[in-house]
Amino acid sequence: MSNRALAFTAERLLQVLQSFPVVNSYIVGFSGGADSTALLHAISTIQNQLDVPVSAVHINHGLHDDADLWQLQCETFCRQNGIKLVCLRIKLGNRSGKGTGGRGPPFTLRGHISLAQAWGLPVNRSPRG
């Protein structure tokens, strides 16, 4: 594969996004790492051409001693680039670094409800049958 095939530019991102069905918004999962920062920066430079809001979500899992610092860096980046950011803090109860140990998914229904509410989306809390 040539380097040309791997080229990533905001203009190419715009072409790709415009090839998809029309959406009401773009929400980028933002860890603060190099990949999500590059993606969020690129999409922020083309957001006027997208004609829909662009926002980000950062999940602070608290598993690393620097997790709060990473969240602060995400907040700073989004503030500087005019991007709405929703940060969710979740508790996994296991700081061993070995996963959740079979105690269920790390991002539960409560986390999904919190995320939906942060964006003003309707939430159906009716019990399952």
Band of the pLDDT at 1, cuts 50, 70, 90?
Answer: low
- pLDDT, position 107: 52
pLDDT tens digits, 56-109: 999 898 888 999 999 999 999 999 999 999 998 877 655 455 554 545 455 555
Domains and CATH numbers, the chain: 7-92+102-118 (3.40.50.620)
| Rounded Cα distance, 67 and 65, in Å | 6
Q: Give how far Cα 107 sits from Cα of 48, 95, 126, Å.
A: 32, 15, 19
CB 93 within 8 A of CB 71: no
- pLDDT, position 109: 52
Report residue 20 as tokens. Answer: 């998809």
- pLDDT, position 63: 84
- pLDDT, position 91: 72
Across the chain, mean pLDDT equals 79
Q: The pTM is what?
A: 0.70
